[in-house]
């Protein structure tokens, strides 16, 4: 999942702060002058993989929560918001998604939501750090419960390298990456998004976690990602959700498609007929999530209008590329 820009880590620690005797707190700095603090009951796991520090804590308010390199990835109390919005939005739009690629998602929340669809025939999960998956299986069964589904196949490798070797294969790509530094850095590049375009079928959809627009460093990371996706896809929209333990609580997702508009092409009646019970997502919320605050629209439009973008754009209608050949070449410049 996520957190935000690397500069926060200058003051952020994988910190258990001690106040009164046995009064333990996990703290994460969202900016040098703003931090989130959660009281901890106990630490369930601490270990260092080849890629990152992995910790699992128990807390009175948020239940179990996972951190990577000291950054909050998910909590038991609010993870459903992120995972439902990552999966059900594109699944309500694509009329016949059968093969999905999930990049990241070692905690299992995205897979848990995907396997609820009988129409999904195969899910490739590309996770660079196998240790995260093993920790999730043991300590986070509420998210890792879909890993044993026979439709799920794991690939423990770099997502950037994996997607280079696939073309016209997936109906859906879900990029559940960490932040744009460390193990997840390559998943925010123009090359990666271009390769995702190529890996999708002619009517494929890509959804990515798109950071927060609120704090300045996070907003810059969001803008960079949007600019690069917008340069590769003819339809590029952004939607939002409220996730209490992520920086500012205001979190964005990117919706990029070769064919389908995320609101005009949604199949609300068909999705409701599936009878999937959710705690956050519904089809009315789906429509409303794409209605962004003015300050967010301005941040996005500033990236779409930069010189050198090979697109003519409108936030409501998506972008039109100069040629199909440019898109197939990954939009590289």
Residue 89: partners with Cβ closer than 8 Å, 6 or more residues away: 207, 239, 253, 255, 262, 281, 286, 289
Burial 98-112 (b: 16+ CB within 10 A, else e): ebbbbbbbbbbbbbb
Structure tokens at 67: 């951190």
Distance (Å, whole) CA 75 – CA 55: 12
pLDDT on residue 177? 79
Nearest by Cα to 322 from 306, 307, 311: 311
Beta-strand pair 152-155/122-126 = parallel
Catalytic residues: 176
pLDDT on residue 328? 33
pLDDT on residue 178? 63
pLDDT tens for the chain, 333 residues long, are 333 333 344 334 444 554 455 689 999 999 999 999 999 999 999 999 999 999 999 999 999 999 999 999 999 999 999 999 999 999 999 999 999 999 998 999 999 999 999 999 999 999 999 999 999 999 999 999 999 999 999 999 999 899 999 999 999 999 997 654 444 445 568 888 999 999 999 999 999 999 999 999 999 999 999 999 999 999 999 999 999 999 999 999 999 999 999 999 999 999 999 999 999 999 999 999 999 999 999 999 998 876 544 433 344 344 433 333 333 333 332
Q: Which CATH architecture has domain 6-75?
A: Roll (2.30)
- pTM for the model stands at 0.86
Q: Give the number of other CB atoms < 10 A from CB of residue 66.
A: 26
Query: Domain-by-domain residue ranges, the chain?
Result: 6-75, 79-328
- Which CATH code of 3.60.15.10, 3.40.50.300, 3.30.465.10, 3.40.50.150 fits the domain covering 79-328? 3.40.50.150
Distance (Å, whole) CA 190 – CA 168: 18
Q: Element (H or E) spanning 303, and its range?
A: helix 294-304
Between the alpha carbon of residue 287 and those of residues 92, 221, 265, the distances in Å are 11, 25, 11
Distance (Å, whole) CA 276 – CA 91: 12
**Backbone torsions φ then ψ of 252, nearest 5 degrees:** -115, 155
């Amino acid at each position: 999942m996520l957190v935000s820009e690397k500069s926060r880590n200058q003051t952020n620690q994988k910190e258990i702060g001690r106040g009164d005797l046995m009064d333990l707190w996990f703290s994460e700095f969202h900016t040098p002058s703003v931090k989130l603090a959660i009281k901890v009951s106990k630490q369930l796991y601490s270990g260092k993989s080849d890629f990152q520090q992995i910790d699992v804590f128990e807390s009175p308010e948020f239940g179990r929560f996972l951190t990577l390199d000291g950054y909050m990835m998910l909590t038991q109390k609010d993870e459903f918001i992120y995972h439902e919005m990552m999966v059900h939005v594109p699944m309500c739009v694509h009329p016949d998604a059968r093969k999905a690629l999930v990049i990241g998602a070692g905690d299992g929340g995205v897979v848990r939501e995907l396997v609820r669809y009988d129409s999904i025939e195969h899910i490739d999960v590309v996770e660079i750090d196998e240790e995260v998956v093993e920790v999730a299986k043991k300590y986070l069964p509420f998210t890792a419960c879909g890993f044993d589904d026979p439709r799920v196949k794991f690939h423990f490798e770099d997502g950037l390298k994996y997607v280079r070797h696939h073309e016209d294969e997936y109906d859906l790509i879900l990029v559940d990456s960490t932040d744009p530094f460390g193990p997840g850095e390559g998943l925010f590049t123009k090359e990666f998004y271009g390769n995702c375009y190529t890996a999708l079928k002619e009517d494929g959809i890509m959804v990515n976690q798109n950071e927060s627009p609120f704090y300045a460093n996070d907003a810059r990371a969001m803008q960079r990602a949007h600019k690069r996706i917008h340069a590769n896809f003819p339809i590029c929209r952004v939607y939002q959700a409220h996730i209490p333990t992520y920086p500012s609580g205001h979190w964005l997702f990117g919706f990029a498609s070769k064919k389908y508009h995320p609101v005009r092409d949604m199949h609300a009646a068909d999705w409701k007929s599936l009878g999937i019970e959710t705690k956050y997502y519904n089809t009315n919320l789906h429509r409303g999530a794409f209605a962004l605050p003015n300050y967010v629209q301005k941040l996005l439009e500033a990236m779409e209008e930069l010189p050198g973008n090979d697109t003519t754009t409108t936030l409501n209608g998506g972008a039109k590329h100069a040629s199909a050949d440019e898109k197939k070449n990954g939009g590289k410049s």
